[in-house]
Structure formats: C-alpha cells, structure tokens
Structure 1
Amino acid sequence: MDVFQHVNHARMVTLLEEARIPWLFDGSPTTSLREGCVLTDLRVRYRGQLRHEDTPLDIAMWIEQLRAVDFTIGYEVRANGAALDSPPAVTASTQIAAFDMPTQRLRRLTGPERDYLTEWMD
C-alpha cells in the first residue's frame, strides 16, 4: 500500500503481470509465446480504491485485439469476491508483440498461437 492506504501503482502493474504470465504462457499449447514476447504498451485506469483488505484481488482477462504480430489483453480488477457486474476498481490493457529473440525482430504469430488467443477474444 502507499501513503494513501491503497494499492500502489507499481504494485498494481506487477499484479497484472503476475496474472498475465501463467494465464498466457503456461496455458498456451505452444512454447513460442513463452520464448519470445515483448510488452509494447501498458495502460492503467484507476476507477476506485483497492486496499490491502480487498486482497486477493480478482482479475478478469481477455483478448481485446488480435493482429498479425501483436495482441492486446484487457483487464478488469475488482476486490476479492466483488460481483462480476460491479464496476471494476481498475481497468487496464497491455499490448504484447511476438518477438524472435535470436534475431531481435518482431515475428508473425503462428497458427497455433492465434488459435489459442482467439479462444480468449471478448
């Protein structure tokens, strides 16, 4: 928590990452997403306070946009046990690009990667 008694911004970004990594990389049937992706954009909007007593937080995620080399993940963060139809305290998005580490260049998403990501489209 920060001095104002709510979850600190830097911690919120880390919580989004901690939710995204197992959902995306461990859930994917291909290893290529785990071997080469880079975050290209991050947006976070705070719509309400989240305090320490609201944890563990509930984070909903889905694919907002899927393109040839990148995809955007949408997030809604609510206090533990909050109804899904209640307004989220935080909304966010991250744009992730497929990346070839050896060549240090963007690459196209593979068919299996696109299939996996499509399952999570909003």
Structure 2
Amino acid sequence: MTEQLIFETGGVLGASGEPGARVFTAAMPVRWSDQDLYHHVNHARMITLIEEARIPWLFEEGLPTATLAAGAVMTDLEVKYRGQVKHADGPIRVRMWCEKVGGALFVARHEVRGRHTPDTEPPAVECTARIAAFDLQTQRPRRFTPAERDYLLEFRHRDAS
C-alpha cells in the first residue's frame, strides 16, 4: 500500500499485532454509485466491500490460505449497522480477524470504519462471516491444511480492540 493511502485511511494497513492476536486492515474505496437514495452505502455494496477486503488478507498468491480461493463457501453472514457509512467516509477501513478456527470452517469478524474514525471508536458496521473450505470436485467441505490452519490461528482472538 502506498504511503498516501495509509495517510488517507488514518492508520496502518495489512497485518498488525502479535501472532495469535493479529488483525488485518484493508482500505476500500467507496464509489459514488455505492450510495443509496439517502446517501448511505447500499447494503449489497457494503457486503461486496467487506468481501473484497478479505482478498488481500486470505486469497492473494503466496499466502498459506490462497488455496481457499479455489474453494471456499460462505455458510452464514450477519451484518449489524451501528452507524452510517457515506461516500465522504472513504476509503473505508475494514479490520478483520478470526473469532473461531475449526477443522474446516472459520468465523471471520469484520469492523468497518470511515477513514477518519479511530479504532478506539465503535465501528459503523460489524460483520460476522462463517466460511468453510470446500472441495469443488467432490462438492463437499474439506479440512484445512496445516498451513491454512496455522495462518488463520495467527488471527484468532475474541476481541481485536
């Protein structure tokens, strides 16, 4: 990430913290067309922004979890809106970590804040996503590899604040 983007988002991007309590922060641009009639980021677009924020955390080449890009399914998604997110709040910051890591499924937590909202303030959006490793050939869930599991465990904790 560029220094300008880090400056604009008000904080460090990428992985931070100690293994076992890491947080991954991604910056996502908010487009004018992401807004609804009330000038809030549309619900469907918010889900997409959160989904796209997971790409540099989990799916980029070279990461132990990049293999999940070839097979992972969302089993559950919960989104809670605590405040408004508007175009002027962008680029938004999405902080992500794991609440639980099982044998084939992990629970990813997300906090969405505007670029000027410090991490000490409540997020505008909270999201919990349950994601399972999936074998496309057999059309069945599969177990995490040791490398995938170890990487996810670096981000496993209950409270990233």
Matched residue type, 2:38:
F
Give the Cα–Cα distance (whole angstroms) in 1 for the partners of residues 141 and 112 of structure 2. 30
Cross-structure match for 1:109:
144
Which among 79, 82, 89 is matched to residue 54 of structure 1? 89
Scaled by the length of structure 2, the TM-score of the pair is 0.72
Contact 1:58 1:81 in 2 (8 A): no
Q: Mean Cα displacement is larger for which, 102-111 or 25-34? A: 25-34
Matched residue type, 1:98:
A
Scaled by the length of structure 1, the TM-score of the pair is 0.95
Gaps of 5+ in 1: none
Gaps of 5+ in 2: 1-34
- RMSD, matched Cα: 1.2
The reply to whether residue 82 of structure 1 matches residue 117 of structure 2 is yes
Cross-structure match for 1:15:
49
Give the Cα–Cα distance (whole angstroms) in 2 for the partners of residues 49 and 37 of structure 1. 30
Which among 35, 40, 45 is matched to residue 6 of structure 1? 40
Q: Percent identity?
A: 52
Give the Cα–Cα distance (whole angstroms) in 1 for the partners of residues 97 and 153 of structure 2. 10
Contact 2:111 2:124 in 1 (8 A): yes
SS in 2 for 1:76: strand
SS in 2 for 1:118: helix
SS in 2 for 1:108: coil
Check 1:77–1:30 CA distance in 2 against 1; reply closer, same or farther (3 A cut).
closer
Q: Mean Cα displacement is larger for which, 28-37 or 5-14? A: 28-37
Q: 4+ residue runs of structure 1 moved beyond 3 angstroms?
A: none
Aligned residues: 122
